[in-house]
Amino acid sequence: MLVLAPMEGIADHSMRDLLTQHGAFDLCISEFVRISNTLLPERVFKRYLPELENNCQTPSGCPVHIQLLGSDPLLMAENAQRVAEMGAPGIDLNFGCPAKMVNRHGGGALLLKEPEQVARIVSAVRTAVPDSIPISAKMRLGYEDTHLALDNSRAISESGAARLTIHARTKQQGYRPPAHWEWIALIREVVTIPLVANGEIWNFQDYLNCQRISGCEDVMLGRGALRNPLLSQQIHQQQPDLDNSTTWRAITPLLIYFYHLTQANYPELYVCQRIKQWLGFLSPGYLEAQHLFSIIKPLNKAPLILKELERHCASFPNNQIR
């Protein structure tokens, strides 16, 4: 199974639409919905998960599960129940967010200091939601260090979760490479539920290495899918890596596609920000992205940005514009 990672502020329904369009992903997890002190109204869930109107699938038919983040078992259960009633086909619980704001309120990675509380949350949500709706969880290896990694994994597995994704780093390690895939293999020895390996998969070779070291068939792609939107297809078709210029040729028309998707959904200024944001994720991989970013950076009018994207796209003669 290939899963598209939850990525707050970037993997929204437009990006999910774009990245799943070739059918290579089997599942998406939504950006986290923060549950702090109330039962959220339906409109909030619809905002995070517009796919609720489409049988909870992206336009190409990839299922989307919703991710909840919070530390109060009862509130998490109530909110899970509500979104399940609205049609969510699966609920994922976040035990990994490193954001200061989230941790200050006792959520995300901070919960990894207390396996008992992790268990209480998973169990409360499992009990509140019909058995037909799978509950999954996503965790890091720990907060400061890995000493509770096995306890947390066991807590999640034994409290009724159907699947566990492991971002193989602690909160302290942030996003610094490497991801410690070997830890996932250790966790496999103490839990019975399927595991999904996550972290630092940027190309096909990383995917193979991650599978070999973690012992996991299933993987989740985050930033690697943003930097190379062809990566999921390559993995699906077991194709070795393409050279950078071939990949960039395929990406440029997608930038225009993404422009139109966001333009249909958001105000103009936000459209500009989203294009720049994606180029920011692309820039470490492609000189062309850096160049294009420097051109559009000062622009705050969406049509001007579109013009530059089209100009850039036209300079790559073999592009197939969708």
Ligand X SMILES: Cc1cc2nc3c(=O)[nH]c(=O)nc-3n(C[C@H](O)[C@H](O)[C@H](O)COP(=O)(O)O)c2cc1C
CB of 222 vs ligand X, minimal distance in Å: 3
Query: Which is closer to ligand X, CB of 97 or CB of 124?
Result: 97
Nearest to 139 by CA among 284, 293, 6: 6
Task: Please identify, among the stretches 49-57, 184-192, 215-223, 252-260, the one whose residues bind ligand X according to the rule CB under 6 A.
Answer: 215-223
CA 258 from chain center: how many Å?
A: 17
Choice from 71, 123, 152, 198 touching ligand X (CB under 6 A) = 198
Task: Please identify, among the stretches 7-15, 37-45, 78-86, 307-315, the one whose residues bind ligand X according to the rule CB under 6 A.
Answer: 7-15
Query: Taking a C-beta distance cutoff of 8 angstroms, is the pair 229, 18 a contact?
Result: yes
- By beta carbon distance, the residue nearest ligand X is 222
Three-state SS string over the chain comes to CEEECCCCCCCCHHHHHHHHCCCCCCEEEEEEEECCCCCCCHHHHHHHCHHHHHCCECCCCCEEEEEEECCCHHHHHHHHHHHHHCCCCCEEEEECCCCHHHHHCCCHHHHHHCHHHHHHHHHHHHHHCCCCCCEEEEEEEECCCCCCHHHHHHHHHHCCCCEEEEEEEECCCCCCCCCCHHHHHHHHCCCCCCEEEECCCCCHHHHHHHHHHHCCCEEEECHHHHHCCCHHHHHHCCCCCCCHHHHHHHHHHHHHHHHHHHHHHCCHHHHHHHHHHHHHHHCCCCHHHHHHHHHHCCCCCHHHHHHHHHHHHHCCCCCCCC
Distances (CA, A) of 227 to 201, 222, 283: 11, 9, 8
Site for ligand X in 39-78 (CB under 6 A): 67
Query: Which is closer to ligand X, CB of 6 or CB of 89?
Result: 6
Choice from 120, 126, 154, 167 touching ligand X (CB under 6 A) = 167
Count of residues of this chain found to bind ligand X when the rule CB under 6 A is applied = 22
Choice from 138, 154, 180, 188 touching ligand X (CB under 6 A) = 138
Choice from 3, 4, 10, 110 touching ligand X (CB under 6 A) = 10
Whether residue 313 lies in the annotated active site: no
CB of 160 vs ligand X, minimal distance in Å: 19
CB of 197 vs ligand X, minimal distance in Å: 10
CB of 88 vs ligand X, minimal distance in Å: 16
Task: Please identify, among the stretches 15-23, 150-158, 199-207, 313-321, the one whose residues bind ligand X according to the rule CB under 6 A.
Answer: 199-207
Site string (81-100) toward ligand X, x via CB under 6 A: -------------x-xx---
Choice from 12, 72, 114, 200 touching ligand X (CB under 6 A) = 200
Query: Which is closer to ligand X, CB of 75 or CB of 102?
Result: 102
Choice from 2, 3, 4, 7 touching ligand X (CB under 6 A) = 7
Given the residues 28, 56, 62, 97, the one annotated as active site: 97
Residues that bind ligand X (CB under 6 A): 5-10, 31-32, 67, 94, 96-97, 138, 167, 198-201, 221-224
Catalytic residues: 97
